[in-house]
Amino acid sequence: MRETKQEKWFYRINNTLLALAALTCLLPLLNIVSVSLSEYEAVASGQVGIWPRGLNFESYHMLFNGTPILRSFRNSVIITVTGIVLSMAFTILAAYPLSKKQFIARRFLTLAIVFTMLFGIPMIPAFLVNRSVHILDTYWAVWLPGLISAYNMMVLKSFFENLPDEIEEAAWMDGCGDFRLLLQIVLPLSMPVLATLTLFYGVGYWNTFQAVLININSSEKYNLAVLVQSMVANQSLMQSLNNVSPDELNQLMTPQGLRSAGIVVMLLPLLAVYPFVQKYFVKGVMIGAVKG
């Protein structure tokens, strides 16, 4: 079908606006990478834009050799991987029965879960609950309070509801039980939405900051987000971590360079994983949104 003149102008304007929106996301990232790689004089004088001035890896050298970033990276991986497994398992176990019309308490429980989306978890009550169940200074204090996202559960529930009933009826006629039906038939058909929700949970756990800062007392258990924020907020901490005097630290690199290097290290895993799940992203979010 041939496009009209108005449609052509609409697509041109739409593409232009989308390109500008993409630039607003890309340019700050390029600036951070450039600051982490630029020479000291260029960073200190504010001359760095989207391209590095010179080439200096001193910020990364001091980051890996003078700070416990590898330990914090390992902690972030533990928090993220374990959190994804737990959250996805319980989200599936919550969404699947709620998608069945024969489930008696389906409507009541669905409304109750949607009601929780109107409120966040208060910081002080959450801390007191974690202390009362003796999970402070453990990663369980990070995983349990936000184990299931109500939004993610509703997305998965909507997807399950749109699966053809004939598939499940055929499986039941062949003697398939509920758990086998879920594991061998429903979940393989749900890979797009499962990949999308895995990305949502992964980003949330990887960037978690407040939960770790409040509930974890041992610095050995801090993740990357808390370590980078500590280095940014506390200049004396950077000096003690790198075992150098203030004058030596300023001659080697700028605080902006070390901060930018830490941010780049935090972003790299997400940037590396996203292309593998990007093809499922739009399909996983939109599928099930329209019935019929």
233-282 pLDDT tens trace: 665 555 555 555 555 555 555 677 777 888 888 888 888 888 777 766 66
**% of the chain at pLDDT higher than 70:** 87
Q: Using CA atoms, how far apart are residues 115 and 106, in angstroms rounded to an integer?
A: 14
Amino acid at 75: N
At residue 37, the pLDDT reads 83
Q: Are 175 and 253 in contact (CB under 8 A)?
A: no
At residue 290, the pLDDT reads 47
pTM exceeds cut of 0.75: yes
Average pLDDT over residues 100-108: 86
At residue 288, the pLDDT reads 47
Asked whether residue 60 carries a pLDDT value surpassing 50, the answer given is yes
**Within 13 Å, how many C-alpha atoms sit on residue 122's CB side?**
4
Using alpha carbons, select from 41, 30, 76, 48 the residue that is nearest to residue 208: 76
At residue 232, the pLDDT reads 67
At residue 48, the pLDDT reads 81
Using alpha carbons, select from 214, 90, 209 the residue that is nearest to residue 147: 90
Asked whether residue 285 carries a pLDDT value surpassing 60, the answer given is no
Asked whether residue 292 carries a pLDDT value surpassing 50, the answer given is no
- In the chain, count H helices and then E strands: 17, 0
Of 1 and 239, more confident: 1
At residue 116, the pLDDT reads 85
Average pLDDT over residues 164-189: 83
At residue 235, the pLDDT reads 55
Of 16 and 63, more confident: 16
Asked whether residue 291 carries a pLDDT value surpassing 60, the answer given is no
Q: Give the pLDDT band of residue 287 (cuts 50, 70, 90).
A: low
Per DSSP, 222 falls in state: -
At residue 42, the pLDDT reads 79
Average pLDDT over residues 165-181: 81
- CA distance to 164, 178, 194, per residue, from 152 (Å): 21, 22, 10
Asked whether residue 15 carries a pLDDT value surpassing 80, the answer given is yes
Average pLDDT over residues 144-150: 89
Convert the pLDDT of each residue in 188-229 to its tens digit: 888 888 988 998 999 999 999 888 989 998 889 999 888 888
At residue 239, the pLDDT reads 52
Q: Give the pLDDT band of residue 87 (cuts 50, 70, 90).
A: very high
Q: Using CA atoms, how far apart are residues 242 and 64, in angstroms rounded to an integer?
A: 10
Q: Using CA atoms, how far apart are residues 110 and 126, in angstroms rounded to an integer?
A: 23
At residue 282, the pLDDT reads 61
At residue 41, the pLDDT reads 75
Q: What is the mean pLDDT of the chain?
A: 82
Asked whether residue 120 carries a pLDDT value surpassing 90, the answer given is no
At residue 256, the pLDDT reads 75
